[in-house]
């Protein structure tokens, strides 16, 4: 078992965040890619379209002896709003594609919550 950290909890740059992780004996990182995450440490589109960017991203992690444990794209994939739901789904699919490109087998997300049966455009959280 390895102790990991979701890098969204750190407000530092990616490099500084990784250094902090190492200084505190943490061995793995989970990086947010969008949706509820501000994706401060991951430019999803750049990483998807640039092998050089993916190489630099993984090198920043691995050169410090860390492992990338997961990509995180928590959002409401079932949001009934015509813009929010599809946008969350788009980030989810891009994150899965990036995980595949990085050889990573773990993507963290949530199912989300649809609107109520009366057709309201807002999620009906229990």
Interacting residues of 107 by C-beta distance below 8 A, sequence separation 6+: 70, 71, 72, 73, 92, 95, 96, 99
pLDDT, position 65? 98
Each residue of 79-117: b (16+ CB within 10 Å) or e?
Answer: bbeeebbebbbbbbebbbebbeeeebeebbbbebbebee
Domains for the chain: give ranges and CATH numbers: 11-108 (3.20.20.150)
Residues constituting the chain:
126
Task: List the pLDDT tens digit at each of the 126 positions of the chain.
Answer: 999 999 999 999 999 999 999 999 999 999 999 999 999 999 999 999 999 999 999 999 999 999 999 999 999 998 888 888 899 999 999 999 999 999 999 999 998 877 766 666 666 665
Q: How far is 92 from 121, CA to CA, in rounded Å?
A: 21
Q: How far is 107 from 43, CA to CA, in rounded Å?
A: 16
Phi-psi label, residue 3: left if phi above 0, alpha if psi -120 to 50, beta otherwise: beta
pLDDT, position 81? 81
pLDDT, position 8? 95
pLDDT, position 112? 80
Helix (H, G, I), strand (E, B) or coil at 65: coil
């Amino acid at each position: 078992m390895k102790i990991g950290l979701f890098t969204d909890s750190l407000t530092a740059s990616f490099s500084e965040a990784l250094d902090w992780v190492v200084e505190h004996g943490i061995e793995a990182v989970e990086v947010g890619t969008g949706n509820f995450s501000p994706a401060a440490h991951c430019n999803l589109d750049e990483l998807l379209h640039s092998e050089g960017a993916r190489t630099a991203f993984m090198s920043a992690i691995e050169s410090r002896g860390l492992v990338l444990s997961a990509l995180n794209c928590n959002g409401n994939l079932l949001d009934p709003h015509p813009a929010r739901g599809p946008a969350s789904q788009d980030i989810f699919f891009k994150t899965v594609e990036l995980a595949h490109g990085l050889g990573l087998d773990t993507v963290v997300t949530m199912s989300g919550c649809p609107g109520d049966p009366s057709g309201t455009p807002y999620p009906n959280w229990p």
